[in-house]
Amino acid sequence: MAKFSYFITVRLIDVVKPFLPILPEVELPYEKIEFDDRVVYTIFSGLIYLFAQFPLAGIPKDLESNVKDPIYFLRGVFAAEPKTILEFGIFPVIASPLLLQLMAGLRIIKVNFKIQQDRELFQSLTKLFAIFQYIILSNVFIFSGYYGDSLTIAQIFLLNIQLVGAGIFVTLMCEVVDKGFGFTSGAMVINTAVIATNLVADTFGISQITIDTEGHQEPQGSLINLLQGVRAKHKTFVGAIVNAFNRDYLPNLTTTCVVVAIAMAIGYIQNIRIEVPVRSTRARGMNNVYPIRLLHVGSLSVLFSYVCLFYIHILGFILIQLIGKNNADSLICKVLGHYEIVNNILYVPTFPLSSLAPPKSLFGGILEQPISFIAYPLFIVITGIWFACNWQAISGQSARDIAKDFKDQGITLTGRREQNISKELNKIVPVASTTGAAILAAITVLGELLGLKGKAAGMVIGIAGGYSILEIVTLDYQQNGSGSNLGQVLSGQFAL
Amino acid sequence: MAGEKSENNQIEKLMDAPVEFFKDGKQFLSKCKKPTGSEYSKIIRAVGFGFIAVGVIGYAIKLIHIPIRYVIV
């Protein structure tokens, strides 16, 4: 048995070896990157991503496909924009390291992180897996008929080039940030930038969109819609206000309020921490506190839940659309459910696949898919807690790692023996991680059940990401930012 | 009979797990330090400012996209 598992591990890492010569690789920075440069790298990778959301070329402009968007409620979490070259956003970039590191941590694939060659192979494996997922996802969507039924070979080729090319580009851009040119991780930066942009677009967006056959137009932004509606001649004053809070074809003010409330809640929870009293082992009388925060694993637990959801729904889409042709009479569709077209853009699954999808709206959902209100929250909460429980032990922030950090820095817990630090911390860290994950999951679920279609989960991840980026930038600024020009410009703004 | 009993025990354990988890979490939360009002408003201001600033720049970039769309497609 041991021999067998050894055999498998060798193979999984070695799968990358033949690809190594053609797999592009970002070099580690030769010298230390200046603070200002790192800020620029960080912000621009987010902005380049936004700019890169080009519409797909090679599909007819007024495409009337029967296959609509099956993953609409997952797009907000993975910065995926429909019918652009970034159709799948950064899903593979997030999913690949998350899953592989989890598997390595749980010893499903064996990697010795102490050996440099193993580390490099593992990193390449992560990248290869991400690109592989882009290829698979692209072709699933192409052959499902999402881009039209009768595509020529040239069109299929062109779509593949665009979707996979953009995927490789994004993978590499994330690597640039990850390897120390920017702050935190590339996926987090991109996610935060896109979610911030979507929030602004949904609230203050001024682009006019035709909403009915009479040619009436309404702006995308909910707040702008309120202002414009009050002044519009074809609406009554009260009608305009009701419409601003109630419209379901474009972002409404109710959604905006819920999203802002979620943001405020996350900001508060981010700061809940337990302060462990510590003292220096080198100097007498040096007492301090070491904070262990409630969100010890950050928003990764929610991301993991959504990665699982994404896989389930893509698998469902493959089975129902590619194999079952979305024909309600076929066997697969009888077992798994089929898709129904809603608002002419969404592909909403029916029972039983629907039980793992958040409802489109609160009241409609209670009547039509009551099981979603049990199954979906349970799924998010349980996967979140399971992930947090495992991740805190393997991510380099476990009680053992913190104890080692303490030893290196010459500090110890007040009133405890040095040998017991790890044990003592082990009483705090796992509870913090799982409780934090449960609370985050609860907030996400609460928002999603109100019918936010992925915006609630997006906001949870966006604010948590924005907070961590800001925190790390501030920390780095205090340490290395003395000669920073940016710091002088902004010194009035951030008095953290 | 014995098997039935252990099964019952297992189910009981399974039912207890969430209750236990909830209790632990509640106890943990009561020990935690919550942010004070001024701390909180400072954080909200800093994160909010950054978020909106990035969002506005991002939206400006998306607006550039609208004419590009007409050129490409």
pLDDT tens for A346-378 read 787 777 778 888 887 777 777 777 888 888 999
One-letter amino acid for residue A352 of the chain: P
What three-state secondary structure class fits A331? helix
Can you tell me the mean pLDDT for A481-496? Answer: 63
Look over chain B and give the mean of its residue pLDDT values, rounded to a whole number: 80
Which chain A residues are closer than 8 Å to B73 by Cβ?
55, 57, 61
Structure tokens at A42: 């960080």
B49, B54, B62: residue with CB nearest A493 = B49
One-letter amino acid for residue B41 of the chain: S
What three-state secondary structure class fits A87? coil
Can you tell me the mean pLDDT for A17-34? Answer: 83
Confidence of residue A241 (pLDDT cuts 50, 70, 90): confident
One-letter amino acid for residue A270 of the chain: Q
Instruction: List A411's β-bridge partners, or say none.
Output: A280
Where do the structural domains in chain A lie, given as residue ranges? Answer: 33-207+232-478
Confidence of residue A78 (pLDDT cuts 50, 70, 90): very high
What three-state secondary structure class fits A272? coil
pLDDT recorded at residue A339: 82
Across the beta sheet with A273-280, the strand order is: A287-293, A273-280, A411-413
Q: Which CATH class is domain A33-207+232-478?
A: mainly alpha
Look over chain A and give the mean of its residue pLDDT values, rounded to a whole number: 84
Question: Do residues A274 and B28 touch, judged by C-beta distance below 8 A?
Answer: yes
Crossing angle of the two packed helices A35-51 and A455-480, in degrees rounded to 10: 160
One-letter amino acid for residue A171 of the chain: T
Q: Which of A450, A398, A445 is nearest to A421 (CA)?
A: A398
Question: Do residues A326 and A320 touch, judged by C-beta distance below 8 A?
Answer: yes
Q: Is the previous residue joined to A352 through a cis bond, with omega within 30 degrees of 0?
A: yes
Can you tell me the mean pLDDT for A84-97? Answer: 92
Residue B62 and residue A61: Cβ atoms within 8 Å? no
Query: Considering the entire predicted model, what is its pTM?
Result: 0.89
> In this structure, what are the phi and psi dihedrals at residue A10, rounded to the nearest 5 degrees?
-60, -45
Which chain B residues are closer than 8 Å to A204 by Cβ?
56, 59
pLDDT digits (tens, 9 = 90+) for A94-117: 999 999 999 888 888 878 888 888
Q: Which of A299, A328, A333 is nearest to A456 (CA)?
A: A299
pLDDT recorded at residue A161: 92
Instruction: Say yes or no: B24 contacts chain A, CB-CB below 8 A.
Output: yes
Instruction: Say yes or no: A57 contacts chain B, CB-CB below 8 A.
Output: yes
Can you tell me the mean pLDDT for A221-233? Answer: 83
What three-state secondary structure class fits B33? strand
**In terms of C-beta density within 10 A (0-12 exposed, 13-18 middle, 19 or more buried), how is residue A10 classed?**
exposed
